Amino acid sequence: MADTTDKVEQKSKTGQTNIAQPALSRRRLLGTAGAVGAAGLVVGGAGGAFGAEALRDDVAPLSGVGTAALPFHGTHQSGIADPAQAHGHLVAFDLAPGADRKAAAALLRRWSDTAAELMAGRAPKGDDTGIALDAGPSSLSVTFGFGRTFFDRTGLTGKRPAALEPLPAFTADALDPKRSDGDLWVQIGADDGLVAFHALRLLQKQADGTARLRWQMNGFNRTPGATGRPMTARNLMGQVDGTNNPKTSDGDFAAKVFVPDDRKGADAWMAGGSYAVVRRIRMLLDSWEQLSLDRQEKVIGRRKSDGAPLSGGTETTPVDLDKLGPDGSLAIAGDAHIRVAAPASNRGAAMLRRAFSYHDGFRDDGAPDAGLLFVAWQADPLKGFVPVQRKLDRGDGLSRFLRHESSALFAVPGGCAEGEYVGQRLLEG
Ligand SMILES: C=CC1=C(C)c2cc3[nH]c(cc4nc(cc5[nH]c(cc1n2)c(C)c5CCC(=O)O)C(CCC(=O)O)=C4C)c(C)c3C=C
Ligand SMILES: [Fe+2]
């Protein structure tokens, strides 16, 4: 998951703007006041002496979540380097029989135009459902990608990137083909559930006749403002997840995540783009929750409370994989998830993890059908997800609590300029 520490500052770094909205709805203002009031109640309830201490600087002021907007136009698509939003929809479509390259281009144009309007907080052109009428953009992002099968169906086989070769089979895979792969992929994220669903519904309607829904998954993350101490998000196992992601401020961030601009040959159209590996990973929460806190922390190699590595320090302290404990054993166990997944254990292989949690009810045995919609972004899957998953698949401490249930790989082109649409360089180049 993308690092969400110091979210306000990071959002501005990644191009997010706050749209001035003089007409904030009454309900929105009441909601903010209500949240502040609730925080006040907690402070008051904790007693007088503690009340003063609770007014510490590290409690962030609540802000208008609805006013934040991400840019649709630019070098890269939004929804990659930006912090993951509170609500997510991942959707794959297959082209309808007879839909050709021209039809696909028209669809990407329709989708891009609509996404640009919605992300700016404007009403879409044409018919609207009204689902998000009184809401601001709420950090909406809409990100489009192409699956391997798209290229044959549109006569573009010659432009299919080598990086879209199918992912290798892993021994722990229990993949459902109906919820895997797809010709087209749309990732929608927003900090408001109605704004996210509104985008999903409009794009689905606009696909009518050209593309059919193949699979759809819904996810969530912590809502901005839900905690007074904004930090890296937690997953459904309770772990702080996303700490050691590449940071946008790292000198080599772009090299790890985005396809370089000087790309030549069949996949030159992918300049500024990225490859998304999408995996629905169910967590075996009944088994996981039976582990003691100590065992859970050893499985990951980090403390559960604050995400600090077991080699010492705070969440952001670099991990010391060589550190020995007082008894002479490794502070971070040999099979700890962060040891096995670390770039240092995988010849530098790195990816940007930007996940959503999911909960789809309960299975027949009563276990939660819940886990992670794992989305990993990288310039080349063979230098990111693939070598790391190969290593994890040999059995890190976490693997026995996970089931990989679906998988897909998409080529996500760079962003487009105003007046253009995402994928234009592929479809018209
Ligand atoms: C193939 C790549 C990875 C899969 C699949 C994966 C699944 C997965 N991970 C967690 C929880 C955590 N992962 C953490 C770190 C981490 N994970 C990967 C890769 C995959 N994880 C990497 C590359 C790293 C960073 C390693 C490092 O350099 O230190 C952590 C620790 C905090 C963090 O750095 O993010 C947690 C927690 C779950 C629950 C999961 C599948 C459901
Ligand atoms: Fe992980």
Span 51-68, average pLDDT: 59
Q: Is residue 23 predicted with pLDDT exceeding 80?
A: no
pLDDT at 348: 97
**Residue 52 to residue 40: CA distance in whole angstroms:** 11
Concerning whether 57 is annotated as a catalytic residue, the answer is no
Closest CA relative to residue 280, chosen from 408, 161, 164? 408
Structure tokens belonging to residue 317 = 């302290």
pLDDT at 63: 58
Closest CA relative to residue 80, chosen from 236, 252, 279, 275? 275
pLDDT digits (tens, 9 = 90+) for 217-249: 999 999 998 888 777 999 999 999 999 999 999
Residue of 34 and 307 predicted with greater confidence = 307
- Residue pair 148/166 in contact (Cβ under 8 Å)? The answer is yes
Q: Which residues face 377 on adjacent strands?
A: 276, 352
> Looking at this predicted complex, what is its ipTM?
0.99
Q: Which residue minimizes the CA distance to atom 22 of ligand 1?
A: 341
Closest CA relative to residue 358, chosen from 235, 216, 219? 219
**Residue 227 to residue 58: CA distance in whole angstroms:** 11
Could you tell me the pTM of the whole model?
Answer: 0.88
- Residue pair 184/91 in contact (Cβ under 8 Å)? The answer is no
Type of residue at 81: A
Using CB distances shorter than 6 Å, the residues near ligand 1 are 235, 237, 239, 241-244, 281, 283, 300, 302, 319, 337-338, 341-343, 371-372, 374, 385, 388-389, 392, 402
Phi, psi angles (nearest 5°) of residue 299: -60, -40
> Of 45-59, 165-179, 254-268, 316-330, which gets the smallest average pLDDT?
45-59
Q: How many CB atoms lie within 10 A of CB 152?
A: 11
CA 175 vs. chain centroid, Å, equals: 20
pLDDT digits (tens, 9 = 90+) for 315-327: 999 999 999 999 9
